[in-house]
Chain A
Amino acid sequence: MEYLSTDKILVIDLATSKIEETALDESLVSEKIGGAGITKHLYEKHLNDDPIVIGTGLLTGTTCPASASGLITAKSPVTGKMCHCPVIYKVGIEIKFSGYDYIVVKGVSDKPVYLWIHDGVADISDASGIWGKDVWESTDSLRKFMGDDLLQTMMIGKAGENRSDYAQICYNYWSSPDRFGLGKLFGSKKLKALAFRGMGLIEVADHENFVRRSLEILKEIKTNDFMTKKGIAEIASAMGEAGVEEWLEPIVHRHSADYFTPYATNTAVFLDEDPKRVEESKVAEPGVLISDVLALLAFKKLGLSAEDAGRALKACAKYGIDPAAVAELSGKSSLKEIVDSFDGLSGTVTLKGKGSFSPWCPLKPIFNDFGLSGDAAEAEAWWERRQAVAMIFGIQPIFSVMCPELSEENMLELAAIGTELDLTQEILDRVVADLLK
Chain B
Amino acid sequence: MGIKIDALKCINCMACEMACSYHRDDGFAFLSACIVVYRAREKQDYFGVLIKEEEFLKVARPEGLEVNRIGEAADPNKKADASVKPMLLREGCDLCEDMDDYGPMCIAICPVDAITLE
Q: Do A and B bind each other?
A: yes
Q: Which residues of A contact B (CB under 8 A)?
A: 61-63, 65, 90, 97, 136, 149-150, 172-173, 199-204, 207, 211-212, 215, 218, 221-222, 227, 230, 253-262, 264, 268, 270, 278-281, 283-287, 289
User: In the bound complex, do residue A202 and residue B29 qualify as a contact, i.e. CB atoms below 8 Å apart?
Assistant: yes
A201 contact from B29, B46, B101, Cβ within 8 A: B29
Q: Which residues of B contact A256 (CB under 8 A)?
A: 11-13, 45, 47
- Look across to chain A and name the residue whose beta carbon is closest to the beta carbon of B47: A256
Contact A222 B111 (CB under 8 A): yes
**B25 contacts A281, C-beta separation under 8 Å:** no
Q: Given the known A-B contacts A200-B29, A201-B28, A202-B27, are A264 and B11 also in contact in the complex, defined by CB atoms under 8 Å?
A: yes
Beyond A63-B28, A63-B109, A201-B31, 13 additional pairs, beta carbon < 8 A: A61-B18, A65-B111, A90-B14, A97-B30, A227-B111, A256-B45, A257-B111, A259-B15, A260-B15, A260-B111, A261-B111, A262-B111, A264-B11
Check B42 against A173 for contact (C-beta < 8 Å): yes
| Cβ A257 vs Cβ B43 within 8 A | no
Tell me, yes or no, whether B39 is within 8 Å of chain A by CB: yes
Check if B30 sits within 8 Å of A199, measured CB to CB.
yes
Taking CB atoms, residues of chain A closer than 8 Å to B102 are 215
Main secondary structure of the interface of A (DSSP, over half): loop
B15: nearest residue on chain A (CB-CB)?
A260
Instruction: Kindly report which residue of chain A lies nearest to residue B102, judged by CB atoms.
Output: A215
The CA-CA distance from A207 to B27 in the complex, in Å, is: 7
Q: Given A201-B27, A212-B101, A261-B13: A173 and B43 within 8 A (CB)? A: yes
B83 and A280 contact, CB distance less than 8 A: yes
Instruction: Give B21-45 as 1s and 0s: 1 = Cβ < 8 Å from A's Cβ atoms.
Output: 0100111111100000001111111
CB <8 Å contact, A255 and B11: yes
Specify which of B45, B46, B108, B111 lies most central, judged by the most chain A CB atoms within 10 Å of its CB: B45
B67 at interface, CB cutoff 8 A: no
Q: Is the CB of A286 within 8 A of B18?
A: no
Give every chain A residue within 8 A of B28 (Cβ-Cβ).
61-63, 201-204
A199 CA to B88 CA in the complex, in Å?
18
The 9 closest A-B pairs by CB, nearest first: A262-B111, A268-B45, A149-B40, A201-B29, A260-B15, A202-B28, A264-B11, A257-B13, A256-B12
Shortest beta-carbon distance from B115 to chain A in Å: 13
Contact A230 B101 (CB under 8 A): no
Complex Cα distance A42/B109, Å? 35
B19 at the interface (CB under 8 A from A): yes
28 A-B pairs with CB atoms under 8 Å apart are: A61-B18, A63-B109, A65-B111, A97-B30, A150-B39, A199-B29, A199-B31, A200-B29, A201-B25, A202-B29, A204-B28, A207-B22, A207-B26, A215-B109, A227-B111, A230-B11, A254-B62, A257-B13, A258-B13, A260-B13, A262-B111, A264-B112, A268-B45, A279-B62, A281-B44, A283-B44, A284-B43, A289-B45
The answer, yes or no, to whether B73 is at the interface (CB within 8 Å) is no
